[in-house]
Amino acid sequence: MQKKDLGLAILIIVVGLVVYLRNPLFLSPINLANTANLIGLFGLFAIGQGFVIMTGGIDLSVGSMIALLGVLFVELLGKYAVPWPLAMLIVVAAGTLMGLAHGLLITKLKMQPFVVTLCGLLIYRGVARGYTGEATAGFPFGTSFPEVEWITIGRSFGVPHSFIAMLVVGGICWVILHRSVFGRHLYAVGKNEDAARYSGIRTDAVVIAAYIICAVLTSVAAIYFAMFTRSVQPSSHGNFYELYAIAAAVLGGFSLRGGEGSIIGVMLGALLLQELQNLVNLLGIPSSLNFAVMGAVILAGVLADQQFTRYRERQRAKAMELRGLDARSATGG
């Protein structure tokens, strides 16, 4: 575990202790299970956002993708009676195509990630609202899908399956990011894309893969959210979820400049955000302040990242200066 991850884990424990002392219901089994479910739901696509931020990019379309793909999944299951494995495959395939489109526009047409994904945010939300005619997409009354419900909103030994899914996805992504050649290439591209290109790394392919990974995990999260809410209101479903993902990644140590971050960190970031949301609910703080809390958290995370980076650069400069002095002393200079 990195120092940033350890510090974040300590902060989570401290905040949890403060909330518990103010309201012991914080550690009740029901509250813990509900919070774990939300951590899993938001953690899934926050991990994907981390891959994009690692390249120095950003994906602002996450919330709108969840809305559009959620509508698609509900319609496939409820209206068209498509078998659930095929419906899931179609949704994930659609998400993959969205991620591929983002990556190609950014790498081949040299468009800014902010612009590409902002357009995606508007387009996907508009398509979802236009398709449903602003109506809520939901399952027909009385219908149930036992297998899908068990996979998405079920629990094993009291642990929500969404949380288990996040842990499994997080474990796989940890190996990809921290123990694979692709992960090393991703770090290199985020640190200095030109240097990575000159060293023989196919930087365009790495960036495209990062956006595809983000979109695939977002499409999986869209399925979980659709089953969790049982209906999708296109105008509000998934609103501002991209901010949750960015905040979780930044809190988890991902630098918005690219080239830094850890999977454990982003999962801890998702945990802290939901803990703060739980704090707002249990302490009776008006829910209207949720976004104020979110903004303050993002700001604090970015400021902490900048201060940590400056401190590390100063330490590196001092170390290089000391090595230079030692070398001159050894040569009698």
CATH of the domain at 154: 1.10.3470
Q: For residues 62 and 41, is the Cβ–Cβ distance under 8 A? A: no
**pLDDT by residue (tens digit) across 272-316?**
989 888 887 777 777 777 778 767 776 776 777 677 778 877 888
> pLDDT at residue 333 above 70?
no
Is 332 contained in some domain? no
Supply the pLDDT for residue 292.
80
Whether 62 is in a domain gets the answer: yes
Give pLDDT tens digits for 24-67. 888 899 999 999 999 999 999 999 999 999 999 999 999 999 99
Does the pTM exceed 0.75? yes
246 and 297 Cβ atoms separated by less than 8 Å: no
CA distances from 210 to 78, 110, 249, 252, 274 (A): 32, 16, 14, 18, 25
Quick one: pLDDT at residue 326? 63
In a domain, 306, yes or no: no
Which is it for the CA torsion 293, 298, 303, 309, positive or negative? positive
The predicted pLDDT at position 311 comes to 80
* pLDDT band, residue 329 (cuts 50/70/90): low
In this prediction, residue 308 carries a pLDDT of: 74
**Average pLDDT score over residue span 218-236:** 95
Q: Is residue 187 part of a domain?
A: yes
As a whole number, the mean pLDDT across the chain is 90
> What is the predicted pLDDT for the residue at 279?
80
* Structural tokens at position 112: 């800014």
Residue 312 lies in a domain: no
- Say yes or no to pLDDT of 1 above 60: no
Structural domains in the chain (count) = 1
Whether 219 is in a domain gets the answer yes
DSSP 8-state class, residue 133: T
Would residue 321 count as lying in a domain? no
- Please give the residue range of the domain that contains residue 9: 3-288
The CA angle 196-200-206, to the nearest 5 degrees, is: 60
Report the pLDDT value the prediction gives residue 276, as an integer from 0 to 100: 85
Given a cut of 70, is residue 245 above it in pLDDT? Answer: yes
- Average of pLDDT values for 230-248? 92
Q: Is residue 55 part of a domain?
A: yes
Q: Left, alpha or beta for 158 (phi > 0: left; psi -120 to 50: alpha)?
A: left
The secondary structure of 158-183 as a DSSP string is TEEHHHHHHHHHHHHHHHHHHHSHHH
